[in-house]
Structure 1
Amino acid sequence: MSISTEIADFITKATIDDFSTESIETAKIAILDCMACLIAGSTEPIAQLLCDQAKHNGGNPHSSVFTKNFKTSSQEAALINGAMAHALDYDDVTEGIKCHPSVFLVPVALALGEYINASGKDILLSYLVGFETACSIGSGLSESYFDDLGWHPTGPLGALGSASTASSILKLNQEQASVALALAASQASGLRQNFGTMTKPFHPGLACKNGVLGAQLASAGFTADQNIFEGRFGFLRAFSGGTDYSPANILESLKKTNHMMESGVEIKKYPCCGSSHLSLDAIFKIIESHNIDPNAIEKITSWVDFDPPRSLVHYNPTSALEGKFSMQYLLAAALLDNQIGLNSFSDEKINRAEIQNLMGKVIMTRHPGNEGKQSWMEGFHKVDIKLTNGDIISNTAERHYSGALRGATVEQVISKFEDCASIAFDTSLSHKMKDMILDLENLEDINQFIKLF
């Protein structure tokens, strides 16, 4: 069998009983976190632009656009909800494939699940199937895909994870699921050059739409090449830069690795690019233990576990979106404001004179001797603050590689959801939403949850 056929076999035969209790519980927490980010992101300008476009184009009202009080086609709803969930860059990441998994899985599961009256258990299964598939396919790509070639990993891999989730929800057969994957592969896209603009969150939104479209066309009898991954002109070679890819890794990974446990879901504490988070953790340790006068700082060095800039492409940001992808702004703001939160990102805050002055003192570099090697191999960041009197204050923060849920406790994710949900809903309603998600496997019809919006 071809790789796509074997993946399709996994998608169509998987049951919720194939997954451990920890994996299922983590999937629920990831869905809760994704909905938190979606609700908070629904107030961003990208949300209104996409909603206006969907209303202008029209479409059968099959699926809800959350917080916006209208329905549109399942494809458009998945697009808008996916983009809103990623608009703040507050959503989860997974270590193995360096991408944001829930934003290309949850919007698809909910859009199609609403249309076909799927159960909560169906939603959970489709999430886990999409997660495992995306991670397995990612294991076959070259390191250059993740670092040097310009791809936003969440875009192309997201299209494939989305198609897997859509295939699971729609209960496609093996041949149809294989076609859905091949269609998603041909639609896969997302370039890192667009980081710091609305197009970055558009990437997972588009991945969601493409996965839904691929599954719907496959269900209707569309055809596609079964050798889409291993073929000479297929996904792996094209997205790997023509070298260092491994088709065999995909199936070995799919059959032998529990990616939810091995790669995990890492919850974000800060609404900005995840590549900055360890340095932020390190600088907040310094802030907690030292009373530093920003005017007494000569230089700030952020030692990172990747070859800069990777995702942190804006050294001199001038807008709120650029600031989310700037180590210079984030460390300067942490020092001046003693926090990085939802209110840290506005054009006015980024263009403050004191911020601009301090940003010029921030240097980002990789730990010496590891230049050009695999990202995250060191697993820690170090921040050095050199003062004008010659003193150097340092601290480090490490990445944790164990367990399915990483970066936050269940209680912290619930608190994050309640904080984000308060933007649009009262406490009573947000508690109902939270309780339904945490008991998702017992929900007979996902519309019981969706109607709360």
Structure 2
Amino acid sequence: MSETPMLTNAVTQFITRADASALTGEHLRLARRCVLDGLAVALGGSQQPGMAPLGRYILSLGGSADARPMGAARRRLPAHLAALWTGTAGHAMDWDDTQLAEGPGRPYGLLMHPTMPPLAASMALTDMVAKETGKPVSGAKFLTAFVTGFEVGCKIAEAINPDHYMRGFHTSGTIGAFAATASACRMLDLDEETTARAIGIAASCSAGIRANFGTMTKPFHVGRAAENGVTAALLARQGFSANTEALDGKWGYLTIAGPGGDPALVTGRFGAPFTMVSPGVSIKPYPSGVLTHPSMDAMLFLMREENIAPEAIESVGLYAGSNVLGPIRFRIAKTELEGKFSFAFLLAAIALRGRCGKEEFTDEFVSSDACQAMQHRIETHFSDEIEAMGWDRIRSRVEIVTKDGRKFERWANEAYRGSPHNPLSDAELQGKFADNAAGLLDEERQQKVFDLVWSLETAPDAGALIDVTDWGALDAVGA
């Protein structure tokens, strides 16, 4: 039996050897898009109810003025707390992008949200690195750190046994910590031994359980992943010790948290190809779990094509397999946080408003009489037929019965909107940014964001990302 490949060594070598030469062609184009999407959802998420108590907690701690959190460029916080704020905001609406699986037995669309942990960590260290080096962090360096963390997170998520998620771990919180650590190490230019210790520290910080889906704690998982990554890198730089093979072996992370995994799936494939390019990433059209999106589009297109008015609907049936129905845990949503994990709410929003965006994800709309009544007309059904088709794609069927007895049916498009097979256009992505920035940034400021991000690799100062997205977020938390 051959020796198990050492994943920690592959990870640390990739991190320390990464440079801007990887930022070319399709990889560069997609990296810019992921950054813009991350900025968008963090802007919108910074207004979510959970951010106020988090902000009050962060401001109560004080500490060194090392970093500016996104949306609050006039505030300075310890770097790890800036990462906590930005990362939590980025996942607060569950609108951030999704990694696609490619390994055997990996359910399609159920790995991690790969952008926010490394993006928040990279942003949080931009000011600190600029102060220490006496010069701004270039856009190329920033992007290099971001895509390095993105790749490390995706590859570790691919290597670990998929039971990690199925048993209840939230991969964006657990594996997200390694993604953030990789970006932080690259931002700080740590050597291989120090980086290995940082990975070891992160392995003991990694956390997040799916029991907290539908609460403020779910986005906190991603914020905590970003915070843990920054903390791990800074501790390692100070000489803090840790196992330098912490992903591997009998007591390593894959074995304990997987349980198990297959490092051979990824050890020779870091950057070859980059996961961002193949199999790709889904940039979400809706602020809910990606598993719900094909069904929501099926509902939307069916109502449009058949000219069905919401008041004409008697009932709606959603038929799917366990990979789609299992993670969606609320029968009837009472709050917007529960709504992200309730097909009844998501389809009700489409039925009533013909859309499901920032304006629909409010407690007021979810609890309204019209929304509650529509939710009670919607049922989900496990389908043996769809289950037998496998989990390599997101499959479902929507059936609408009208009050006059007519029945309409539509299968969800497996090449769903936002997927690499049917991606949002750059214009649609900018529209998503505008939706999230509504009421926060005017059109002129939004255009400055677009101009900066679409040429970020040539920008002299990546800290401008924080300047152009400032809206005084932490001034609004009541502290």
Q: TM-score range by the shorter chain?
A: over 0.9
Residues 396-407 of structure 1: matches in 2 within 5 Å? Answer: 396-400=411-415, 407=423
Residue 327 of structure 1: how far off its partner (Å): 0.6
Instruction: Give the match for residue 243 of structure 2.
Output: 225
TM-score, length basis structure 1: 0.92
- Within the candidate set 55, 59, 81, 1:76 is matched to 81
Letter in 2 for 1:9: Q
Q: 1:5 aligns with which of 6, 9, 16?
A: 9
**Contact 2:296/2:347 (<8 A) preserved:** yes
- Residue 9 of structure 1 and its aligned partner are, at CA, apart by 0.6
Residue in 2 that maps onto 1:51: 55
Alpha carbons of 1:222 and 1:364: their partners in 2 closer, same or farther (altered >3 Å)? same
Secondary structure class of the residue paired with 2:267: helix
Gapped regions of structure 1 (runs ≥ 5): none
Gap change, CA 1:305 and 1:171, over 3 Å in 2: farther
* Match of residue 38 from structure 1: 42
Q: May I ask how many residue pairs the two structures share in their alignment? A: 449
Listed as ranges, the matches of 1:113-132 within 5 Å are: 113-117=126-130, 118-132=137-151
Distance 1:99 1:304, change over 3 A: farther
Q: What's the TM-score, normalizing by structure 2?
A: 0.88
Deviates more, 1:301-310 or 1:130-139: 301-310
Confirm whether residue 135 of structure 1 aligns to residue 148 of structure 2.
no
Equivalent residue in structure 1 for 2:28, among 18, 24, 42:
24
Given that 1:22 and 1:404 are in contact with CA atoms closer than 8 Å, whether structure 2 keeps it comes out as: no
Does 215-224 or 417-426 show the bigger shift?
Answer: 417-426
Counterpart of 1:98?
111
- How far residue 407 of structure 1 moved from its aligned partner, in angstroms, is 3.2
Q: Residue 246 of structure 1 corresponds to which residue in structure 2?
A: 262
Q: Is the 8 A contact 2:15 2:182 kept in 1?
A: yes
Task: Provide the residue aligned with 1:165 in structure 2.
Answer: 183
Counterpart-to-counterpart distance in 1, 2:421 and 2:437: 21
* Residue number among 189, 199, 211 corresponding to 2:229 in the alignment: 211
Counterpart amino acid of residue 105 in structure 1: P
Pair 1:54–1:253, CA change in 2 (3 A): same
2:266 match: secondary structure: helix
Partner of 1:195: 213
The alignment partner of 2:461 has SS state of coil
Given that residues 291 and 394 in structure 2 are in contact (C-alpha distance below 8 angstroms), is that contact kept between their aligned partners in structure 1? no
- In the alignment, residue 86 of structure 1 is paired with which amino acid? H
Deviates more, 1:45-54 or 1:170-179: 45-54
The answer for the alignment partner of 1:63 in structure 2 is 67
Q: For residue 241 of structure 2, give the secondary structure of its aligned residue in structure 1.
A: coil
**Residue 296 of structure 2 contacts residue 346 of structure 2 at CA under 8 Å; is this kept in 1?**
yes
Per-residue deviation, 1:70: 0.8
Task: Call closer, same or farther: CA 1:208–1:444 in 2, change over 3 Å.
Answer: same
CA-based RMSD of the aligned residues comes to 2.3
Distance between the aligned counterparts of 1:122 and 1:396, measured in 2?
A: 44
* Alignment-derived partner of residue 391 in structure 1: 406
What is the identity, as a one-letter code, of the residue corresponding to 1:101?
A: P
Q: Deviations over 1:144-203 (max 9, x none)?
A: 223x21111211110011111111111111111111111111111111111111111101
CA separation of 1:144 and 1:355: change in aligned 2, threshold 3 A: same
Match of 2:428 among 412, 415, 425: 412
Secondary structure in 1 aligned to 2:204? Answer: helix
Q: How does 1:361-372 map to 2 (within 5 A)?
A: 361-369=377-385, 371=387
1:291 offset after TM fit, Å? 2.9
The whole-number CA distance in structure 2 between the counterparts of 1:7 and 1:371 is: 35
